[in-house]
Structure 1
Amino acid sequence: MGVSVSGAAVSEGSGSGFPRFWTAQTVSQLGQRFGMVALPVVAIESLHAGAAEVGYLTAALTVCYLLVGLPAGAWVDRRPKRATMIGAAVVRAVVLACVPVLWAVDRLSLGWLYAVAVVVGVASVFFDVAYQSYVPFIVPDKDIERANARLESSAQISAAGGPAAAGFLLKAVSAPVVIAVDALAYVVCAGLLATVEDSEPSREGKGGRESRLGREILAGVRFVAGHPLLRRLCVVMGVSNFFATLAMTLTPLLVLRTLGLGSTVMGVVLGVGTLGGLLASLTLPRVRARYEAGKVMAAGLVLAGASMAAFPAAGSLGGSLGGSGVVLPVALLVIGQFGMTWGAVTFNIAQVSVRQRVCPPDMLARMTATIRCVVWGSMPAAAVLAGWLGSRVGVVPCLWIGVVGAFLTALPLVGTDRLIRAATPAADTRA
Structure 2
Amino acid sequence: MVPANKRVAKGKGQVAVKQLNRRISESGHTPSTFAPKTGEFKNEIDLDEFVRWIIMYQNYTGVTDKTKVENEEKFSNPAGWVYRLNPVYVQGKTLFETLMLNLVLVNQDQENPAIQRPVWEFESVLDYVAYRKRQALPDDLAGLYTAWSRILHIEWADKRHPIIFSAGIPMFSAEGARLEPMTTWRFDKKESLFRPAVKSLRSLSVAMWRNFGQYVKTNQDETTRQEPGLVGWLRKLKEDGLIPDNQILTLASVALVSDGNATSQSPAAEFADDLQLQANTLFDDSEMAERWPVRIEDTVTMTQKVGQDFYHFAADIGEIRNLVDTRSYASRLSAKFYASLNVPFKQWLAQLSGRDDRDEKINEWKRQLQELLRAAVQEIVRTSSSRDVIGIKDAKGRPMNIFTVRSRLSYQVRQDLDLKKE
Shorter-chain TM range is 0.3 to 0.5
- When Rg is computed on C-alpha atoms for both structures, the one with the higher figure is 2
TM value normalised by structure 2? 0.34
Q: Tell me which protein shows more helix as a share of its residues.
A: 1
More strand by share: 2
> TM-score when scaled to structure 1?
0.33
Relative contact order (C-alpha < 8 Å, sep 6+): which is higher? 1
